[in-house]
Structure 1
Amino acid sequence: MKTLWLLILSLVIFGCTTFGTNNTKVDVNVICKWGTQQFDLCQYKNQEQMIDALLLAMVLDEKIGQMTQSVWHNNVSPETIRDKAIGSIIHTEGPTPGPNAMDWVNKFNEFQASALQTRLGIPLLIAVDAVHGQNTFEGAVIFPHNIGMAATRNLNLIKQAAQITALEVAGTGFNWTFSPCIAMPQHEHWGRVYEGYTEDRDLTTAAVIASVQGHQGTSLAHRDTVAATAKHFIGDGATDGGVEGGNAIMTDQVMREHYLPPYTAAVNEGVASIMVGFNSYNGHNMHQHTHLVTDVLKGELGFEGVVVSDWNGGLRFGDPHTVINAGIDIAMQPGNHNEFMAKLKASVFDQTVPMSRIDDAVRRILTMKFNLGLFSDPFAKKEFAESVGSPAHRAVARQAVRESLVLLKSDNDALPLSSSDSIAVIGSHGNNSGLQSGGWSIHWQGQAESYRGATTIFDGIKAQGTQVEYAEHGCYPDMPASKAIVVVGEAPYAEALGDSDELWLSDAHKKLITGCKNLGKKVIVILISGRVLAISEDLDKSDAFIAAWLPGSEGAGVADFLFATNGFKPTGKSPYSWPVAVTDIPLAPNAEHALFKFGYGLQDY
Structure 2
Amino acid sequence: MGKKEKTFQIIEKKIDSLLERMTIDEMIGQMTQVRHFDDISGDDIKTKLIGSVIHTQGPLPGLTATEWQAKVTDLQKQALSTRLGIPLLFGVDAVHGQNTFEGATIFPHNIGLGASANPGLVQQAAKITALETQATGFNWVFSPCVAIPYNEKWGRVYEAFSESTDITVELTRASVRGHQGDLRQSENVLATAKHFIGDGSTDFGVEGGNSSLSLDEVKIRLLPPYQAAVDEGVGAIMASFNKLDDISMHAHKALITDLLKGELKFDGIVVSDWKGYSRFGENDIINAGIDMVMAVDGDLEGFQNGLKEAVSSGVVPLTRIKDAVRRILRQKFRLGLFDNPFPDNKLIIKIGLKKHREVARQAVRESLVLLKNEDNILPLKRDAKIVLVGEFGDNSGLQSGGWTVNWQGTNENYRGATTILEGFRKISSVEVAFDKEGSGNDDADIAVIVVGETPYAEFFGDIGGEINAYQLTLTEIHQNYIDTYIKLGKKIIVVLVCGRPLVVTPQIKQSDAFVVAWLPGSEGHGIAEVLYGEHDFKGKLPHSWPKSVDDYNGKYGPNFWDDSIKPLFPLGFGLRYWES
Q: TM-score range by the shorter chain?
A: over 0.9
Tell me if structure 2 keeps the 8 A contact 1:209–1:265: yes
Q: Structure 1 residue 131: deviation in Å?
A: 0.4
CA–CA separation in structure 2 for the residues paired with 1:467 and 1:386 = 35
CA–CA separation in structure 2 for the residues paired with 1:510 and 1:93 = 33
Counterpart code for 2:543:
Y
Counterpart code for 1:570:
F
Give a deviation string over 1:124-156, Cα, whole Å, max 9, x none: 000000000000000001100000000001110
CA–CA separation in structure 2 for the residues paired with 1:78 and 1:287 = 31
Which residue does the alignment assign to 1:90?
Answer: 54
Secondary structure in 2 matching 1:467: coil
Give a deviation string over 1:345-399, Cα, whole Å, max 9, x none: 1101111000000000001100110000000000012221111111110000000
Q: Structure 1 residue 592: deviation in Å?
A: 6.2
Tell me if structure 2 keeps the 8 A contact 1:475–1:519: no
Unmatched runs of 5 consecutive residues or more in structure 1: 1-19, 27-44
Q: Structure 1 residue 591: deviation in Å?
A: 6.8
Which residue does the alignment assign to 2:38?
Answer: 74
Q: 1:500 aligns with which of 463, 476, 497?
A: 463
Is 2:231 aligned against 1:231? no
CA–CA separation in structure 1 for the residues paired with 2:7 and 2:211 = 45
In the TM superposition, 1:140-539 aligns within 5 A as: 140-217=104-181, 219-318=182-281, 320-336=282-298, 337-465=300-428, 466-476=430-440, 479-501=442-464, 502-539=471-508
Counterpart code for 2:106:
I
Is 2:75 aligned against 1:123? no
CA–CA separation in structure 2 for the residues paired with 1:277 and 1:60 = 27
Counterpart code for 1:600:
F
Give a deviation string over 1:288-310, Cα, whole Å, max 9, x none: 00000000000000000000000
TM-score normalised according to structure 1 size = 0.91
CA–CA separation in structure 2 for the residues paired with 1:205 and 1:21 = 27
Q: 2:73 aligns with which of 102, 109, 129?
A: 109
Q: Structure 1 residue 475: deviation in Å?
A: 4.8
Q: 1:572 aligns with which of 539, 552, 557?
A: 539
Q: Structure 1 residue 473: deviation in Å?
A: 1.1
Secondary structure in 2 matching 1:496: coil
Q: How has the CA–CA distance of structure 1 residues 424 and 338 changed in structure 2, closer, same or farther, with 3 Å as cutoff?
A: same
Which residue does the alignment assign to 1:593?
Answer: 566
Q: Structure 1 residue 77: deviation in Å?
A: 3.5
Counterpart code for 1:148:
G
Counterpart code for 1:306:
I
Give a deviation string over 1:243-292, Cα, whole Å, max 9, x none: 00000111111111111111111111100000010000111110000000
Tell me if structure 1 keeps the 8 A contact 2:154–2:207: yes
CA–CA separation in structure 1 for the residues paired with 2:211 and 2:496 = 30
In the TM superposition, 1:33-48 aligns within 5 A as: 46-48=10-12
Counterpart code for 1:601:
G
Superposition misfits of 4+ residues, deviation over 6 angstroms: 589-592
Secondary structure in 2 matching 1:420: coil
CA–CA separation in structure 1 for the residues paired with 2:324 and 2:438 = 58
Q: CA RMSD in A?
A: 1.5
Tell me if structure 2 keeps the 8 A contact 1:429–1:436: yes
Counterpart code for 1:166:
A
Tell me if structure 1 keeps the 8 A contact 2:551–2:565: no
CA–CA separation in structure 2 for the residues paired with 1:377 and 1:335 = 30
CA–CA separation in structure 2 for the residues paired with 1:407 and 1:21 = 48
Tell me if structure 2 keeps the 8 A contact 1:591–1:597: no
Which residue does the alignment assign to 2:467?
Answer: none
Q: How has the CA–CA distance of structure 1 residues 554 and 591 changed in structure 2, closer, same or farther, with 3 Å as cutoff?
A: farther
Q: Structure 1 residue 237: deviation in Å?
A: 0.4
TM-score normalised according to structure 2 size = 0.95
Tell me if structure 2 keeps the 8 A contact 1:78–1:114: no
Unmatched runs of 5 consecutive residues or more in structure 2: 465-470
Is 2:547 aligned against 1:547? no
CA–CA separation in structure 1 for the residues paired with 2:444 and 2:12 = 69
Q: Structure 1 residue 53: deviation in Å?
A: 1.1
CA–CA separation in structure 1 for the residues paired with 2:72 and 2:102 = 17
Which residue does the alignment assign to 1:584?
Answer: 551
CA–CA separation in structure 2 for the residues paired with 1:333 and 1:427 = 42
Q: Structure 1 residue 47: deviation in Å?
A: 2.0
Secondary structure in 2 matching 1:597: coil
Q: Structure 1 residue 411: deviation in Å?
A: 1.0
Give the total of aligned pairs: 563
